[in-house]
Structure 1
Amino acid sequence: RLDMKFAAEHAKKATKATTSPSFLEMSEDETGAPYLLLEQTLLQCVYIAEQLGAIPPLDEKWLARVISPSLRQLSQLQKSTGLH
């Protein structure tokens, strides 16, 4: 389970996109089991959380510098037409 407050705070510390994948060392809350999280996955979660209103709006300058246009496009939520 990803703590969105932690995710937003950590993502805001990022300063630039890198060409090689960056992994974050994490640990599971209940068991303490370690795992790796791809930084791009975290940034994607933060961007989606912003769209859902789960976190405050991200600073536009930070967003442009940290989350690539391709990742933002991939993470863009589709607006529902209300048709099923």
Structure 2
Amino acid sequence: MATGMGLALFGAALAAGFAAIGTSIGNGLVISKVMESMARQPELSGQLRTTMFIGVGLIEAVPIIAVVVSFLIIAK
């Protein structure tokens, strides 16, 4: 039974770790493209910034869900 718990902890750590890596890559891509767009069309910077914050907020939901799933795996 101890092996099963070890594997559960390993799976939980993998889920949270990969979610964090994916989120950081996604945030970096979104922010870099928004900065590029603002440089090309400065008159749209307010609208682009608002859209960026919505997108980053949605991307940030992924690791939160992954941590919840990790807790569920550990509690099982």
Normalising by structure 1, report the TM-score: 0.25
Structure scoring higher RCO (CA < 8 A, sep ≥ 6) equals 2
TM-score (normalised: structure 2): 0.27
Higher strand fraction (1 or 2) = 1
Relative to its length, the structure with more helix (as a share) is 2
